[in-house]
Homo-oligomer: A and B are copies of this chain.
Amino acid sequence: MRITALAGGVGGARFLRGLLAAAPNATVTVIGNIGDDMTMHGLRICPDLDTVMYTLGGGIHEEQGWGRTEETFGVADELKAYGVGPDWFTLGDKDIATHLVRTQMLGAGYPLSEVTEALCTRWELPVRLLPSTDDRVETHVVVDDAEAPGGRRAVHFQEYWVRMHAPDARAIVSVGVESAKPAPGVLEAIAEADVIVLPPSNPVVSIGTILDIPGIRRAVADAAAPVVGLSPIVGGGPVRGMADKVLAAVGVEVSAAAVAEHYGADLLDGWLVDADADTGAVARVEAAGIACRAVPLMMSSPQATQAMAQAALDLAAELAAAKAAAARTATGSASD
């Protein structure tokens, strides 16, 4: 079975681990978000790709969900001694090695997809990790700022999230997205998949950014495979992160059903909401033309996460079977 998943950072990476446990023999391609990439201290940093890589490669700081286990901060302490900022983003030594290799390869002319492949080789990754694009796309968030002209200013997503701790957002801007092209292999991985999964990653600044790269949304919508997503909204809010703030910025209600409607029936075939979701959620999603099931959606343990992934695969199988049956019926009718 070929599974293609779109993924953000911590939540996506954790879900992918459950997916690999649920489908140990599947060939999994992960299309990663690069919208929160940034350059700091001259180093090119890809937080979401690295979180997926470290998580699936066994190098992640488990409790934290991002960064390296047994990390040290010799470089960061010294940068501080030099008075070199920013002070709101601290890079660990092991992590810096990843960025040094990446920055040097990018500088030598390799596209990010080849750099990512080279980095993943060392981690013997059980998936194929592709950046959504080799082009530069940066997510900026428009926030209120009384001192800025017009009372608003745009900040890089990392500054919005890490330094400012996600205040109310007025708009999300993907700088450079119009001219970005899907990275090599991305459209093929979508077209050739047996199942396409949207993990419970941020629907705006993670999966939304991937889908906004010209060609990717259309490819997912047109794919032969069933597309099944999992709600990142559980109990009226995001399990982790700032999905509530960025959903509000794009005018989407913070609910499991509204996120499904936001993705839309042209994209999504199936959707999982949390078992504790309000009783109208499933009906509302189904009314939008998307098959919906309610299952526990808290990634509280590897077993719980695996069960979530299994539920997504079960729904995909159910949708594929129904589609095949419909096709047989249609063919039968046509040949009658």
Contacts and interface: CB of A to CB of B under 8 A. Distances in A.
Interface of A: 41-43, 71-72, 74-79, 81-84, 92-94, 96-98, 100-101, 103-104, 107, 119, 122
How many copies make up the complex? 2
Contact of A74 (B42, B94, B119): B94
A84 B101 contact: yes
Contact of A122 (B83, B92, B97): B83
A119 B42 CA distance: 16
A76 B74 CA distance: 12
Contact of A82 (B76, B82, B119): B119
Contact of A97 (B79, B92, B101, B104): B79
A interface SS class: helix
Given A42-B107, A82-B119, A72 B100 contact: no
Nearest to A41: B100
A97 B75 contact: yes
Contacts of A42: 42, 100, 103-104, 107
A104 B74 contact: no
Contacts of A75: 74-75, 93-94, 96-97, 100
B119 A97 contact: no
A101 B41 CA distance: 7
Contacts of A92: 74
Nearest to A44: B42
A76 B82 CA distance: 21
Contacts of A100: 41-43, 75, 79, 84
Contacts of A101: 41, 79, 82, 84
A204 B75 CA distance: 34
A122 B82 contact: yes
Contacts of A94: 74-75, 77-78
B72 A97 contact: no
